[in-house]
Amino acid sequence: MLEQQIDGVRRRALERIQSAANADELEAARVEALGRKGFLSNASKEFGKLAPEERARAGKLLNEAKQAIETALEDRRARFDRDTLKAKLESEWIDLTLPAPGIRPGSLHPVTQVQTEIEELFISMGFTVLDGPEVETEYHNFDALNIPANHPARDTQDTFWLTNGLLLRTHTSPVQVRGMQKLGPPLRMIAPGRVFRNEEVDASHEHTFYQLEGMMIDRDVSVAHLIYFMMTLLSSIFRREVTVRLRPGFFPFVEPGFELDIQCLICGGPGCPVCKQSGWVELLPCGLVHPNVLRMSGIDPEEWNGFAFGLGLTRLAMMRYGIDDIRLLASGDLRFLNQF
Ligand code: FA5
């Protein structure tokens, strides 16, 4: 009787172990077969009722059944562990042979790229690169450039005024004044930088944009020198023939003064919003330094003279790269910036 019972318990336990679908079911099968209140434990309680020779046989059977169940439990547990590991490996698998996504470095802003090229060009021609403050004094931005208070030329550069006579510089020309005062003649300098104007924004006008100032002071500097340097600058940047026109321009700090315009490279001449339908873009005003400006910075105009120019750096970048709206440049839009 007991032998049959042990045999039955063994068979049932092995079946349950085999059919356990997860660790919980397996544990339930273990408790049912081997637990303190389990089948085998109950069976062993029957031992006392047996004759000694039957007891030995039943004991052997019981041990064998226990061992078989423990082995089956271990096998099943090992299979669960293997299955879990396999699933984990499959879900976390990484193909090490795939090509790496690659480094995506940022790029320099188009205005910075053009600025760097111009700096390198002028450094190669003996010019120094100077920097000046964006918050300027009225004296450096206007007075020292021969633009006294109430001069109508102040109206052409709508100014963001700060307190105490300070302002956001409207052009890079105050760096001319600082350069002359600091370095004295002879002088070859350029000064790229950000400038600010309180004016309406459109496709070719920003309130915040970049200019690049240039100045050369020496003995016997002429308009021919000025034109030579302007043409060298433009042909170096565009690396192709561009059509320019030189016309008289009025700036109180130069005499004579010129406007150097470039034929619009966005539309090629017929007219568009960037050139305001005129076919020409104001790019490079320039002239010979006014004697008053030299004098105010302590330079004797009888001995020295020079030229100066104020390149519209942001507009130059627009012409160079065919950008048809100045507002894109400060938009921070990566779809735009990634093109450079
Ligand atoms: C000046 O600022 C003078 N200081 C330039 C100068 C220097 C003349 C030395 C003579 C000698 P103007 O206001 O024209 O000039 O500005 C110079 C250039 O800056 C313009 O030709 C144009 O290319 C650019 N510019 C002017 N206003 C804007 C604007 N709102 N947005 C973008 N570019 C502008």
Residue with CA at minimum distance from ligand 1 atom 29: 205
> So what's the pLDDT on residue 232?
93
User: Of the candidates 101, 120, 117, 105, which has an alpha carbon nearest to the alpha carbon of residue 340?
Assistant: 105
> So what's the pLDDT on residue 85?
93
Cα 281 to Cα 34, 205, 335: the distances in Å are 95, 11, 26
> So what's the pLDDT on residue 49?
79
Does the structure show a pLDDT above 90 at 59?
Answer: no
> So what's the pLDDT on residue 60?
86
What is the separation of C-alpha 67 from the centre of its chain, rounded to a whole number of angstroms? 68
Locate the ligand 1 atom nearest the alpha carbon of residue 156 and give its number.
Answer: 13
Q: Position of tokens 């099968």? A: 29
Locate the ligand 1 atom nearest the alpha carbon of residue 171 and give its number.
Answer: 2
Distance (Å, whole) CA 28 – CA 44: 20
Does the structure show a pLDDT above 90 at 157?
Answer: no
Locate the ligand 1 atom nearest the alpha carbon of residue 281 and give its number.
Answer: 23
Classify residue 50 by burial, with Cβ atoms within 10 Å: 0-12, 13-18, 19+.
Answer: middle
E strand residue ranges, the chain:
128-129, 135-137, 166-168, 187-196, 208-218, 244-248, 254-263, 280-282, 286-289, 305-312
pLDDT in tens, 195-249: 999 999 999 999 999 999 999 999 999 999 999 999 999 989 988 888 889 999 9
> So what's the pLDDT on residue 215?
98
171 CA distance to ligand 1 centroid (A)? 7
User: Of the candidates 135, 180, 179, 172, which has an alpha carbon nearest to the alpha carbon of residue 298?
Assistant: 180
3-class DSSP assignment, residue 118: helix
pLDDT in tens, 67-83: 999 999 999 999 989 99
Distance (Å, whole) CA 157 – CA 139: 15
Best of 251, 281, 294 for a ligand 1 pocket test (most atoms within 8 Å of beta carbon): 251
286 CA distance to ligand 1 centroid (A)? 10
User: Of the candidates 308, 302, 303, 284, which has an alpha carbon nearest to the alpha carbon of residue 146?
Assistant: 308
Eight-state DSSP code of residue 266: T
Residue with CA at minimum distance from ligand 1 atom 5: 310
User: Of the candidates 161, 160, 135, 137, which has an alpha carbon nearest to the alpha carbon of residue 147?
Assistant: 137
280, two tokens: 């020409």
pLDDT in tens, 214-227: 999 999 999 999 99
Pocket of ligand 1 (CB under 6 A): 157, 171, 173, 197, 199, 205-206, 209, 211, 251, 254, 257, 282-283, 285-287, 308-310, 312, 314-315, 326
315 CA distance to ligand 1 centroid (A)? 10
179, two tokens: 């350069």
List b or e across 110-137, with b for residues whose CB sees 16 or more CB atoms inside 10 angstroms.
bbeebbeebeebbeeeebeebebeeebb
User: Of the candidates 314, 289, 27, which has an alpha carbon nearest to the alpha carbon of residue 176?
Assistant: 289
Distance (Å, whole) CA 29 – CA 73: 9
